[in-house]
Amino acid sequence: MIIVAVFIALLCCYGVFWVTGSRRLDKATAALPMPPGLPLIGNAMLFIGSTEKILRNLEDIASLSMKHKGAVKFWLGSRLYIAISNPEDAQVILENCLDKDTVYRFLRPWLGRGLFIAPLRLWKVHRKVLVPVFKNKIVEQYLNIISTQSNVLVDRLSEQSGKSKFDVLRYITACTLDIMFETAMGEKMDVQNFPDTPYLQARHTVMTILNKRFFKVWLQPDIIFNMTSYAKQQKENIELTHKFTDEVVQKKRLEYELKKNSKLNNESGKNCLKSQIGTGPD
C-alpha cells in the first residue's frame, strides 16, 4: 500500500513538472506539426512495439516533417524533440548545437566520460588530442584490416542469400567490432565467425536495455529504473564487457612493457660491449 502511495505521489509530481516545463516549449513551437500524443507520456507510444512498427512510425514522422517545411515536433514525456528533414537545417544544427542530450547520461555507467558522451568542455579537449590520429596517412595503415574484415562480412552475408529475412545489423555490428578491436587495440577477435561470444552477448543486452530507456519515458528516471530488473541485468553485463576490455588493455600493456624492457636490455648490452671494446688492451 505504501509503495502504491509513493508511486502515485511520484506520478503526480511528474505530472506537475511535465505541465509547467512543457507549456513554454509547446507555445514556442506552436507552428510545428506534431503526431497525436497522450498526456504525461506525449508521443512515447510511437516507440513501443516491434522494430517494424517503430520503423513505420519513424517513417510517418519523417513524412510529416517533409510535408511541413522539413520540421516536426514530438514529446517523450516532458522532453521536446524536433525532427528535421532539411539538410541545410541539419548542417546549421550540427555546427552549433554541440551539447549532448541529457539521455546520454544513461550511457555513462558503460562508457564513462569518453569522447562519445563527454560534456562539451571535455569533448573539445579530447577531440583536439584525437584529431591527428585520423589523418589519411594513419588511417591508410589499417586499410588491409578493413578490407579483410569487409570481405568476411560479404562472405557471411552471402550465406543468407536466397533465404528468408534476417537481421543485417548483427552482421554489420560483428564486422565493426572486428575492425575496431584489430585497429584500435591490436587484438584479433574474429567475432564474425564466432558471434556467440560472452562479450558480444553482454554488449547486445546492454544496448537493448539502453534502447528501452531512451524511448520508454517511465524508465528514464533513475529512481524508477533502479527498482526494475533491468538495472541489475545492465550492471552485470556492463561489468562483463568492462572485464573483457580491461583484460585486453592489460595484455597489451604487458606486451608493451616487455618490448620496452627488451629494447633497453639490448641497448644496454650494446653499450657495454662498446665500452669493453673501447677500453680493451692496446
Paired sense of beta strands 79-84 and 71-76, if any: antiparallel
Residue where one domain finishes, among candidates 97, 114, 129: 97
Mean pLDDT confidence for 31-45: 86
Q: Is 98 helix (H, G, I), strand (E, B) or coil?
A: coil
pLDDT at 262: 77
Residue 121 lies in a domain: no
Percent above pLDDT 70 for the chain? 87
Residue where one domain finishes, among candidates 97, 114, 148: 97
**Per-residue confidence band for 157, with pLDDT thresholds at 50, 70 and 90:** very high
pLDDT in tens, 94-147: 888 888 888 888 888 888 877 778 888 888 888 888 788 777 788 888 899 999
Instruction: Tell me how far apart the alpha carbons of residues 208 and 192 are, in angstroms, rounded to a whole number.
Output: 20
Domain total for the chain?
2
pLDDT at 72: 92
Instruction: Tell me how far apart the alpha carbons of residues 102 and 234 are, in angstroms, rounded to a whole number.
Output: 19
Beta-carbon contacts of 50 under 8 Å, excluding residues fewer than 6 positions away, are: none
pLDDT at 46: 87
Domain range enclosing 279: 197-282
Instruction: Please give the model's pTM, rounded to 2 decimal places.
Output: 0.74
Mean pLDDT confidence for 205-214: 90
Cell representation of residue 27: 507555445
Q: What is the DSSP string of 208-234?
A: HHHHHHHH-GGG-SHHHHTTSHHHHHH
In the numeric block, the cell 497525436 is attached to 36
End-to-end CA distance of the chain: 100
pLDDT in tens, 218-249: 888 888 899 999 999 999 999 999 998 888 88
Residue 44 lies in a domain: yes
State yes or no: pLDDT of 14 exceeds 70. no
Residue 158 lies in a domain: no
Higher-pLDDT residue of 273, 257: 257
Higher-pLDDT residue of 14, 191: 191
Residue 140 lies in a domain: no
Residue 139 lies in a domain: no
Residue where one domain finishes, among candidates 97, 130, 145: 97
Q: Are 114 and 123 in contact (CB under 8 A)?
A: no
- Greatest alpha-carbon pair distance for the chain in Å reads 100
Q: Are 6 and 14 in contact (CB under 8 A)?
A: no
Q: Other CB atoms closer than 10 Å to residue 59's CB: what's the count? A: 10
Sign of the Cα pseudo-torsion (51, 53, 57, 59, in order): positive
Residue 103 lies in a domain: no
Residue 152 lies in a domain: no
Mean pLDDT confidence for 23-38: 85
In the numeric block, the cell 677500453 is attached to 279
State yes or no: pLDDT of 169 exceeds 60. yes
